[in-house]
Amino acid sequence: MKILLNGSRRLSLVVFATGFLFLASPHRSVAQDEMVPIPADANSSLRSNPDSEVYFADILVRGRPVFQMGSLADLGARERAKIINRRVNSLLAQSETLGQVTVKPDDPRQVATLRLNNRVLMTVTQQDAQDFGLSVEALAERWAEQLNLAIKKPPLAIDVGQRLYGTVRQLLRDIITNLPSLLGAMVMVGITWGVAKGVRFIGFSWAQRTEGDRSTEILIGRLGYGGVWVLGSIITLGVLGLNFGALLGALGLTSVAIGFSLKDVLSNYISGVILLAARPFGINDQVVISDYEGTITQINLRATTMRTYDGRLVYIPNQEVFSASIINNTASPRRRSSVTVGIDYDADITQAKQVIQNALTSLSGIEKEPPPEILVMELAASTVNLEVRFWVDSRRLGFLTMTSQVCQRIKEALQAADIEMPTDIYTLLFRNSPLPTDTTGNSQSDNSDSELVLPHQNSANG
């Protein structure tokens, strides 16, 4: 019996202590009204709660902010607003008719609750009243009136205006909040631009002093300019608060897709870097690339621009340039040309060579070193073919002009020296043809063949 009495006394003490703590802690009951579990140590909650530094959060109705509510000792502002927003929007999603938001004071706890359709939306506490400098009842009436205006669906024009106002207000608030980061990012972009311009200028100057090649200048300047911008962009994003770990993770997940989608673009850029570094040709060089021949006008990291001899511009992707065979006609300032001329078998070859040599000597466009060469290349059917080799300017205009002048001068010199340049002659035999007749009308020999000798240029008509 004594054990039962002692147990009942202990139970009574526990119940009395629990009731006393319940009545003496109004904020703990508010937290229960907000449907959030109460931690045992409020201080530890503030330390572990990442939203503890956010003191106010928006109460939203149909996505539009109505007013702001502060945090409590054991409940962050965001979590508190999230609970209230969920209650409000759950009532708005129902098809039943909504009444008016009413205020119900709770004097023993010195709080007031806002109710809608017999459901508690939120609790106005002494902390809220202190934050806004009003009494609990006055603040509760103000919030109830603002909720009633927001819940009552306004006309379309007013609704659009309110939404625009809320969006602009939130945007301005975000801009003001992030203003230091934005200013820092803008300053960093300006610094990056200035440093990149300086690095490009230094790269150009250094390449001009050391290499003297325009392609190398372009490569060094652009690589330096791009490298500074990449570094500056990373620092700028860091100023804006970018999480580089998340960025690298996202890049790692999407690197395969990016590689496949940008395969051709990246291949062109990499080929452009290799071409600018290897320098198989430069600007103003006359080259042959695959089926195109012309003058290089520009070398970019993505494509090479060529102007053909008929005045057209051709943009060749660097990947095709890199994989094609390239003939650079102007890699050397001099280029060898040749002309073939045929003389008669009865002509003096030594005399013909001397005539041709004298004709070439009088032309100023032919290089003196190495001297022209005159070689007997072929004993053809009707002519002895001589090949005349000489060196001229490697530019296309000079090359074609001098080759034409050499052909004209050789022809005129050989004609002046009475050296024949016969064409190819073919002998055609006509068998079983009608017998030719003499002047008396009698046929000649029965076994004779007719023979017709034609020059080469008339053989097709024979």
User: What residue ranges do the domains of the chain occupy?
Assistant: 2-175, 180-261, 272-328, 334-416, 425-458
Does the domain made of 272-328 have the CATH classification 2.30.30.60?
A: yes
pLDDT for residue 389 is more than 50: yes
Q: Is the pTM of this model over 0.75?
A: no
pLDDT of res. 29: 41
Q: Which SS3 state, helix, strand or coil, does residue 234 take? A: helix
CATH topology assigned to domain 334-416: Alpha-Beta Plaits (3.30.70)
Asked whether 129 and 135 are in contact (CB, 8 A), the reply is yes
Which residues share a beta bridge with 306? 296, 314
Please report where in the chains the tokens 């600018």 appear, as a residue: 276
pLDDT of res. 16: 44
pLDDT for residue 150 is more than 70: yes
pLDDT for residue 47 is more than 60: no
pLDDT of res. 373: 92
Angle formed at CA 213 by CA 336 and CA 307, multiple of 5 degrees? 60
Give DSSP secondary structure letters for 398-457. HHHHHHHHHHHHHHHHHHHTT---PPPEEEEEETTPPPPB-TTS-B--TT--EEEEEEGG
pLDDT of res. 293: 92
pLDDT for residue 235 is more than 60: yes
If pLDDT is split at 50, 70 and 90, which confidence band does 53 have? Answer: low
- Average pLDDT, rounded, for the chain: 76
Say which DSSP state 155 is in. P
If pLDDT is split at 50, 70 and 90, which confidence band does 159 have? Answer: low
- For residue 22, which of 83, 14, 104 has the smallest C-alpha distance? 14
pLDDT of res. 239: 78
Which backbone phi and psi does 21 adopt, to 5 degrees? -65, -35
pLDDT for residue 52 is more than 50: no
pLDDT for residue 436 is more than 90: no
pLDDT for residue 391 is more than 70: yes
272-328 and 334-416, same CATH topology:
no
Give DSSP secondary structure letters for 50-110. TTTT--EEEEEETTEEEEEEE-BTTB-HHHHHHHHHHHHHHHHHSSSPP---EEEEETTTT
pLDDT of res. 175: 81
Cα gap 95→397, rounded to integer Å: 88
Angle formed at CA 216 by CA 210 and CA 217, multiple of 5 degrees? 80
